[in-house]
Structure 1
Amino acid sequence: MTDRSTAKRISTYTRGDLTFDVADSGPLDGPTVVLLHGFPANRHSFDGVVPLLNAAGLRTLAPDQRGYSDRARPRRRRDYRAAELQRDVLALLDAAGVERVHLVGHDWGGALAWQLGAAAPERLTGLTVLSTPHPAALVRSLVTSAQLLRSFYILVFQLPVLPEVLLRGRLAALLRRMGLKPSAADDYGKFMSKRGRLTGGLNWYRGMWLPDRGAPRARTVTVPTTYVWGNGDQALGRRAAELSGLFVRARYQFLEVEENHWLPENAPGVVARQIIADVVP
């Protein structure tokens, strides 16, 4: 449970000169769940999940992450290295007055959740990771499956300017073709049309893997973990999903569901039920 004496309601938090927007709801004294979105979404990707968690007595914190919050969008690639992204989440916990949380991540938010499960287990009660395999499992799968072909777009996104040109004005249609429900695809297309947001989101691809002396070397997750993977995911294949358990040294569950990549938006009930099962004894 959250300590009533330290928990406080927030709508923003700061780290250095960056200010992040946060949706904070549910009982302050309930277990806290942090929800990390991916690309090209924002905190609203969990809008269908949050009410179900709150009704179960869980407090939820859903931030717009670095690059997505309008006042937290540094321009340099190196500002999106893993250590910086991890510290953003830890600063959120401190601002909200919570010592330990259950961490949920989807897409790039899932990659960040895996990293924090290895780097900061003392701040976590557990993980629920959606769609994204453990980063080391993904790397291993590149040479043992067709994952390299699935991930070719990541190489394209390393280029300056061109990905923005290719995606601008076409993003919503592309997301619908990838199976995201039309209302969410249109919302994300509109959100990303504002100046700077698309580059901010793409900078996760450009900066996350840069060498970083400040990033912890640990890659083995040591907190209870559930990994939920949709077997219709066009971007992330089975081999990486099945290898992810090799990098967890704690209670681990792999849940395969009949869905595609967009689990929070397309299957909020499935996601919420699993999070509740992971958090509530």
Structure 2
Amino acid sequence: MSVPTASLLCVIEHVRIATPAGTFDGIAAGAPDDRPVLLLHGFPEAASAWEHQVAALGRAGYRAVAVDQRGYSPGVRPESPGEYHVDDLVGDVLAIADASGWARFDLVGHDVGAVVGWHAAAAHPDRVRTLAALSAPHPCALAEAARADEDQALRSQHLALFKERSAERRLLADDAAALRAIFEHRLPRSAVADYVARLSEPDALTAALNWFRAARRLVLPDRVSVPVLYLWGTEDVAVGSTAALSCGKWVDGPYHFEMLDEASHWVVWDAPEAVTSLLIAHVT
């Protein structure tokens, strides 16, 4: 089922994708038979973060689909943190592809969506044609930097805070002031308001935080053999240059690294045209 709406000079569909885990909500553009591109959002966002890229990819002749991932889609919101293990998240990627009839597909991810992308590309090169990772480098690069680089260790401290039992209360207190602060005043107020409203729904923020709570035991992916595009903003507060510059060490296939000057962790919002252009060039 899809409901077309006009957006960014392109028809964007609101889609629902039924899988064994439940039904994922999302947005899409392009003809169903066009080459498929799946886009995965980060924390604490939604599929709508990719609206600009979905529309542009659709115009360029691709079938672009961005989904509200596990916990963000009300139809796929299990209660137990154990059901948000990275294997479950990668399984969702494959299930969405299977439900869409895609034997192979290009995969794009930002933040924790990129982490899922790294794992999916490493484990399933037969399904993932290419990977574009935004902000989050290969998890091995980040883990190595966090051990060896004090600056990266400080930048990664927020991950432990998200696992605390009081995280929901703290993030939603005072009209979700701490949740809003995550975006560093980089996003339009309307987008932040939408994300806050979504995560203020019953159990929604707990589900989003369960991604971090499920990762108490660090699981690292293998090396990646498919072509990779990695985009990193030089003003990223969560990922420092040590991790970003070492990312390519973990890629055996063709690798393209782009630094986006003055862009923050929210590269999709800070540099939408540059991100879109690089993505289209990468999947072409």
Same fold (TM over 0.5): yes
In the alignment, is residue 185 of structure 1 matched against residue 192 of structure 2? yes
Report the structure, 1 or 2, having the larger strand content.
Answer: 2
Task: Describe how 1:197-216 pairs up with structure 2 within 5 A.
Answer: 197-210=204-217
User: Partner residue of 1:144?
Assistant: 148
Q: SS of 1:95's equivalent? A: helix
Q: SS of 1:49's equivalent? A: helix
TM-superposed deviation, 1:195:
1.2
User: Partner residue of 1:250?
Assistant: 253
Rate the CA distance shift 1:44–1:218 in 2: closer, same or farther, 3 A: closer
5+ long unaligned stretches in structure 1: 1-8
Q: Following the alignment from structure 1 to structure 2, what is the Cα–Cα distance between the partners of residues 211 and 56? A: 38
Q: Deviations over 1:33-81 (max 9, x none)?
A: 1000010001001012111111111111111100100111111111011
Rate the CA distance shift 1:234–1:178 in 2: closer, same or farther, 3 A: farther
In the alignment, is residue 39 of structure 1 matched against residue 43 of structure 2? yes
Rate the CA distance shift 1:269–1:211 in 2: closer, same or farther, 3 A: closer
User: Partner residue of 1:235?
Assistant: 238
Partners of 2:54 and 2:65 within 8 A in 1: no
1:57 is matched by which residue type in structure 2? G
Task: Describe how 1:118-133 pairs up with structure 2 within 5 A.
Answer: 118-133=122-137
2:72 is matched by which residue type in structure 1? Y
Rate the CA distance shift 1:224–1:195 in 2: closer, same or farther, 3 A: same
In the alignment, is residue 154 of structure 1 matched against residue 159 of structure 2? yes
Q: SS of 2:223's equivalent? A: coil
After TM superposition, the runs of 4+ consecutive aligned structure 1 residues lying more than 4 A away are none
User: Partner residue of 2:33?
Assistant: 29
Q: Identity of counterpart residues, as a percentage?
A: 36
5+ long unaligned stretches in structure 2: 1-12
Partners of 1:172 and 1:188 within 8 A in 2: no
Deviates more, 1:202-211 or 1:116-125: 202-211
109, 112, 118: which one aligns with 2:116: 112
Rate the CA distance shift 1:192–1:123 in 2: closer, same or farther, 3 A: same
Rate the CA distance shift 1:208–1:31 in 2: closer, same or farther, 3 A: farther
Partners of 1:175 and 1:185 within 8 A in 2: no
2:202 is matched by which residue type in structure 1? R
Q: Following the alignment from structure 2 to structure 1, what is the Cα–Cα distance between the partners of residues 229 and 125? A: 15
User: Partner residue of 2:68?
Assistant: 64
TM-superposed deviation, 1:18:
2.0
Structure having greater relative contact order (Cα 8 Å, sep ≥ 6): 1
In the alignment, is residue 18 of structure 1 matched against residue 22 of structure 2? yes
Q: Over aligned residues, Cα RMSD in angstroms?
A: 1.8
Q: SS of 1:239's equivalent? A: helix
User: Partner residue of 2:91?
Assistant: 87
TM-score (norm 2): 0.89
Q: Following the alignment from structure 1 to structure 2, what is the Cα–Cα distance between the partners of residues 139 and 221? A: 16
TM-score (norm 1): 0.90
Rate the CA distance shift 1:232–1:30 in 2: closer, same or farther, 3 A: same
Q: Following the alignment from structure 2 to structure 1, what is the Cα–Cα distance between the partners of residues 193 and 179? A: 5
78, 103, 107: which one aligns with 1:74: 78
Partners of 1:178 and 1:234 within 8 A in 2: no
Rate the CA distance shift 1:235–1:211 in 2: closer, same or farther, 3 A: closer
Rate the CA distance shift 1:17–1:234 in 2: closer, same or farther, 3 A: closer
